[in-house]
Structure 1
Amino acid sequence: MGAVIHSAPLVVPISRPPIRDGAVAVRHGRVLATGPRREITATHPDAEELRWPGVMVAGLVNAHTHLQFTRMAEVGRHPHGTFEDWSTAFDAVYAASRDTDWAASAREGACLALRHGTTAVADIVTDAEALPVLGECGLGGVAYFEVLGDTDATWTATGRDRLTGRVRDFGVLGLSPHSPYTLDTGVLGDLAVLGRAFGLRQHIHLLESLHEREYTVSGTGPIARLVRDLGFDFQILRDGGTGKGPVAFLDSVGLLGPECHVAHGVHLDHDERALLRERGVSVALCPRSNQALGLEGPPIAALLEEGGPIAVGTDSLASAPSLDLLEDVRLLRDLALRQGYRSPDLSRRLMEAATAGGAHALGLGSGPGRIGTLGPGSRCDFAVFAVDPAGHNPYDALVVDGPGRCVATVTANGRIHPATETPQDHP
């Protein structure tokens, strides 16, 4: 098959500055070249050209979601006063949803993500039947098989063998130890060992709740009560805590490293952010989900100023109103401005977080077939947004005007995923 050229009035490759009247040459799902349209068409005179309106940008990378919970949107439709309130509501609906076709639910979520410009995800999978969905739908990224609820005793008896069987049977690429408060201390440490032994990515929820620190430090507070009510007899509860905050605790059991990224980080303090940077751990920020749980949102201004690696996620429809990643990017921009961030690079850095930053978090930001950018050798994943291509700052246009305005998403398998609704005219 010969080359295909995708061109647009403005191309934002992320890996290089935006290109006016730009183009991308593609063969077999990989980018051959990116540059001015006149150069690309001259270099590939026999290629078919597809001309797109608006702004073409490297495919978005949703660095934290649970696609299988798409059919649990009823939980996300209602505001919750605290994380613990949401968790109780979620657990009740999940327990009543045992007959749900989780694979079908995940496929619905994948389609929604694609229609909003997302081409790769970090998908946490609780029920194994949803593990193959990414490949079936043409989404890139990593499916992380979730582990939660094991004490050290149940892990030794059955949990470890169950997990290694899932890894073998489904070709799992990632593990998701759910959180510091839903697994016993020895289980968390063993998952760190297993992950490195199998060469698996790791992804964990961290400091989403205000009370998580109290739990790991002293084994007390609302989360401790919630864990006890669920019947878990964890070491932290027996010992009266670890004396360490959640980040230091996870570091002590070996879970933090460049192969790991964390979700939320709403309550990270200065020292914890520094430790994550030192360990090379990215933070996937999900501000709309945080707001639905009664949380203020992450310290985005500090994360940007300190230079720690960040990414963006939507979480699931069980805690967010949509899977439109740019909605979260726009909210992060608003939060950063309210928190005092004044550098003119704000929109650019947030778009980088939603693309290359997500790719980095998933371990897919370099090498052949990399995602999150449009450069030679990368996957040809991109989205087109009906925003003004002639504006002074294309990153501002994407962040401020891009939500809800995706025209189409194109994935490396050559499929074109049109948006279900026609965006408004250019502003």
Structure 2
Amino acid sequence: MHIYTAPVVVPIAGDPVRDGAVGVDGDRIAYVGPAADAPESEDATAFAGVLTPGLVNAHTHLCYTGFADMHGNEKEFFEWIQEFARRNPATADDEWKAAAQDGVDQSLAAGVTAVADVVTPAAAFEPLLASDLAGVAYWEACFIDDEAWEERRKAWREIVTETRAVNGSDLAVGVSPHTLYSLGTGVAKSLAELARTLDIRLHPHLAETTHEDMFVRRGSGPFAFMNRRIGLDLELAAGGAGHSPAQQMAKVGWLGADSHVAHGVHLDAEDRALLREQGTAVALCARSNARLEAGEAPVAAHRAEGNPVAVGTDSRASAPDLDVAAEWPVLRKLALAQGDDGDGLNEWLVRAATEGGAKALGRSDIGAIKVGARADLAVFDVDTEANPYAALVSEAAGNCKATVVKGRLIEH
């Protein structure tokens, strides 16, 4: 057994432990508690900071790590998203693989040991599934209308089934129906049915922009124009659904305890109640939303109403890095500006990026330091004398000094 000690251990599964220790046996946690009570071992590593579970990035696109220049192009969401149609076809498989590998490496360097990763090109599966990351790799369906689906369904499904068949990693394979404005209603229902048939998880984008809301409710706005221009024939374009994107997602089967959604920026009280009823978590991506001028998620309302919440970065195309800890101070600022009283907010945020992410991905063996869990840890160089949750939220960004992933130590 290898013993890791730190001035403060934040297990999430219990109260913070000062002068704490975590015992790792192979790729599993075998002890957590006071260092004085830890099993004797000749293999020990003493850290100087705060030791936490490995963080969970509950929404990202690691294959777009090579598109980091898009973060600085100052384009608003509608202009920004159209860049992918131009760049994706021109990107070779080796470039996709290298970008995904870079994303894996950047994640581990930030203390992220599990991801909900949306995979756009099939080539990006290879480096992901070869990594030690946990979580789910979601095969994306995007810009497919009902007519095209009849031709593409078999080939699209084969990617899922064949990848699952050869997958020996700790990343499960799931389905990511992109959005309601990029898929036909029949396609949407078919993808939900496929996920339930195969017993795999779903991860769509929901209510990221007002453009999306306009298209779903009324069939109008920029996305209606874009779809007409590219020849995408969606049922919603004929007058819309007459209700919110969240309600439409429930109708096509994309919500449930086996699904979590990304962004959730434009959700009213009725929408949030629907997500709670369905047991569907929201992965908040505050920095991406700000960069793309998409709006501000109702962080305070999610917390006050008890919605399950996780934390994501989105891709390097819309975020400055893949550092989940860097989302904490931004989310805290939003919550306070929206009326949150701040009591317990720091702990809530840290939990959202650990056990919240684990629950969003349907995992019980990550996101907490407990006996039997995967040996995923992160060490942050923050004030060890202060409240550990407050120190992490205010100081952890850019300060991960070591990561243990599946029992393997990586020092930064």
Please give the TM-score of this superposition, normalised by the length of structure 2.
0.96
Q: Which residue of 2 aligns with 1:170?
A: 163
What amino acid is aligned across from residue 187 of structure 2 in structure 1? V
**2:49 matched residue in structure 1:** 54
Number of residue pairs aligned between Structure 1 and Structure 2: 405
Whole-angstrom distance in 2 between the partners of 1:50 and 1:177: 43
Secondary structure at 1:162 match in 2: helix
Deviations 1:298-319 (A, max 9, x none): 1101001111000000001101
**Equivalent residue letter for 2:202:** Q
CA deviations 1:146-200 (Å, max 9, x no partner) are 011211122122x221122112211162000000111000010011111000011
- Within 5 A, what are the aligned runs for 1:25-174? 25-40=23-38, 44-46=39-41, 48-80=43-75, 82-98=76-92, 101-157=95-151, 159-171=152-164, 173-174=173-174
Partner Cα distance (1:321, 1:94) in 2: 20
Distance 1:382 1:99 in 2: 32
Residue pairs, 1:287-366, within 5 angstroms: 287-364=286-363, 366=364
Show CA shifts across 1:290-344 (max 9, x none).
1110133211010011110000000011011111111111110111111111132
Contact 2:383 2:391 in 1 (8 A): yes
- The 4+ residue runs of structure 1 with deviation greater than 6 A are none
The match for 1:382 is 377
Q: CA deviation at 1:95?
A: 4.1
Is the Cα–Cα contact under 8 Å of residues 90 and 318 in structure 1 kept in the other structure?
no
Q: 1:225 deviation in Å?
A: 1.0
The aligned runs of 1:115-264 (5 Å cut-off) are 115-157=109-151, 159-171=152-164, 173-237=173-237, 239-264=238-263
Deviation, 1:136, is: 1.7
C-alpha separation in 2, matches of 1:118 and 1:297: 24
Letter in 1 for 2:81: S
2:400 to 388, 402, 406: 406
| Contact kept in structure 1, 2:93 and 2:123, CA below 8 Å | no
Matching residue within 395, 398, 408 for 1:415: 408
Secondary structure, counterpart of 1:173 in structure 2: strand
Rounded Cα–Cα distance in structure 1 between residues aligned with 2:27 and 2:14: 20
SS in 1 for 2:79: helix
Alpha-carbon distance between aligned partners in 1 of 2:42 and 2:302, rounded to the nearest angstrom: 43
Which residues of structure 2 form unaligned runs of 5+?
165-171
CA distance in 1, matches of 2:400, 2:6: 14
Residue 140 of structure 2 aligns to a residue in which SS? Answer: strand
1:100 to 1:88, Cα distance in 2 relative to 1, 3 A:
farther
Residue 423 of structure 1 corresponds to which residue in structure 2? Answer: none
Q: Distance in 2 between matches of 1:310 and 1:232?
A: 33
> What secondary structure does 1:404 align onto?
coil
Q: Measure the CA separation in 1 of the matches of 2:64 and 2:32.
A: 37
Alignment RMSD: 1.3
| TM-score normalised by length of structure 1 | 0.92
Deviations 1:104-161 (A, max 9, x none): 110001101110110110010000111132332211111000011211122122x221
SS in 2 for 1:203: coil
Counting aligned pairs with the same residue, the percent is 44
Q: How much has 1:350 moved relative to structure 2?
A: 0.3
Do 1:83 and 1:208's aligned partners in 2 also have CA atoms closer than 8 Å?
no
Shift of 1:243: 1.5
Q: Distance in 2 between matches of 1:245 and 1:181?
A: 12
> Secondary structure at 1:274's aligned position in 2?
helix
In 2, Cα distance between the equivalents of 1:290 and 1:9? Answer: 36
